[in-house]
Amino acid sequence: MLRDVTVSEVGPRDGLQMVRKVVPTADKRRLISALHAAGLPEIEVASFVPPKLVPQMADAAEVTRFAAALPGLHVAVLVPNLRGAEAAVAAGAHKITLTLSVSEAHSQANLRRSRTEQMEEARAVTTWLRSLPPDARPRLEAGLSTAFGCSLQGEVPEAEVVGMAVELARMGCDSVGLSDTAGYANPAQLRRLLRLVRAEIGQACDSLHLHDTMGLGMANVTVGVEEGIRIFDGALGGLGGCPFAPGASGNIVTEDLVFLLESLGLRTGIDLDALLAARAILAEALPGEPLHGAYARAGRPTGWRAAA
């Protein structure tokens, strides 16, 4: 399947981590299988965090191993530290996103570490990964949380985002993603920050993780596309958030993201009908949990065609 843009589904990680219920492993497998069947090229299936802190992710290794066996699927996971990275590699993850916060307040709340300490952790992860044989080495993405503002501290200086991105690229991260953890980004800010970061590290800044708190998710995607970004995270039904970003609401809705990208003429390789089937599985697994999204509500516009 030809693809112009990569939609990375983070629902099984960012979504299921935020719901109160611990979703059984069997349901996660059904959901991941359905997403894979719908054509999602990459799925963030778990985060490798202490089960005491996040019981929803206690089965991270099992779920990762399951996903890694699905043909052609790029299996991504989130890790907060070296220990998580080691466990993720052991389970067969293809891409590891190490999370760091540009906001000091969010770093302390979410990671219980200062930004400086977390940069040291990033150095430990890159050093360890380099010690692995190349064919056992996953891609390492540094995920810069709160890059566009923080609900705890407010404004996040752009120079600090750029500074961290440069340092992380230099220490050997394969890519740096910008995360709008709080959902505060506006399109003008997004364009400006992308240009600032890419002026320093170029295409190594290659992905956006957006939330829809202020209803500007699709506007931000549009500007990201115009700026040349070709990897976007989304979550089925708009699940997700961050326990340490008060007021933040869910991720941008994968269904709406795919609809927008295809409408813009960018092939995602994803079948929207099959994506709605995956959404139905999610709804079954999470009774009572509100799912969001315009496409699921409105359906396909009369005469609409996917990108060809």
Task: Report, as residue numbers or ranges, the catalytic residues.
Answer: 242
Using rule CB under 8 A, residue 294 touches a copy of itself? yes
With CB under 8 A as the contact rule, the residue among 91, 152, 169, 258 that binds a copy of itself is 152
Contact present, 210 and 183 (Cβ < 8 Å): yes
- Output the smallest distance, CB 209 to a copy of itself, in A: 17
Q: How far apart are CA 242 and CA 111, in angstroms?
A: 12
**Interface pattern 194-233 for a copy of itself (x via CB under 8 A):** ------------------xxxxx-xx-xxx----------
With CB under 8 A as the contact rule, the residue among 249, 251, 254, 268 that binds a copy of itself is 249
- Output the smallest distance, CB 76 to a copy of itself, in A: 25
Identity of the residue, 131 or 302, whose beta carbon is nearer to a copy of itself in the bound complex: 302
Q: Which stretch binds a copy of itself (CB under 8 A): 1-9, 45-53, 122-130, 149-157?
A: 149-157
Please work out the total of residues on this chain that contact a copy of itself, with binding judged by CB under 8 A. Answer: 43
With CB under 8 A as the contact rule, the residue among 9, 42, 121, 256 that binds a copy of itself is 256
With CB under 8 A as the contact rule, the residue among 15, 39, 183, 241 that binds a copy of itself is 183
Residue 144 to residues 104, 118, 159, 168, 300, Cα–Cα distance (Å):
12, 11, 13, 10, 34
- Output the smallest distance, CB 103 to a copy of itself, in A: 10
- Output the smallest distance, CB 78 to a copy of itself, in A: 24
Q: How far apart are CA 135 and CA 9, in angstroms?
A: 24
With CB under 8 A as the contact rule, the residue among 135, 136, 159, 302 that binds a copy of itself is 302
Using rule CB under 8 A, residue 264 touches a copy of itself? yes
Identity of the residue, 168 or 261, whose beta carbon is nearer to a copy of itself in the bound complex: 261
With CB under 8 A as the contact rule, the residue among 30, 68, 186, 271 that binds a copy of itself is 186
Using rule CB under 8 A, residue 273 touches a copy of itself? no
Using rule CB under 8 A, residue 154 touches a copy of itself? yes
Query: DSSP letters along the chain, please?
Result: ---SSEEEE-IIIIITTTSSS---HHHHHHHHHHHHHTT-SEEEEEE---TTT-GGGTTHHHHHHHHHTSTT-EEEEEESSHHHHHHHHHHT-SEEEEEEESSHHHHHHHHSS-HHHHHHHHHHHHHHHHTS-GGGPPEEEEEEETTT-BTTTB---HHHHHHHHHHHHHHT-SEEEEE-TTS---HHHHHHHHHHHHHHHGGGEEEEE-B-TTS-HHHHHHHHHHTT--EEEEBGGG----TTSTT--PBPBHHHHHHHHHHTT------HHHHHHHHHHHHHHSTT-----HHHHH-SPTT-----
- Output the smallest distance, CB 243 to a copy of itself, in A: 16
The first and second tokens of residue 244, run together, are: 């340490």
Using rule CB under 8 A, residue 120 touches a copy of itself? no
Interface contacts to a copy of itself, rule CB under 8 A = 149-155, 182-184, 186-189, 212-216, 218-219, 221-223, 247, 249, 253, 256, 259-260, 263-265, 293-295, 297-299, 301-304
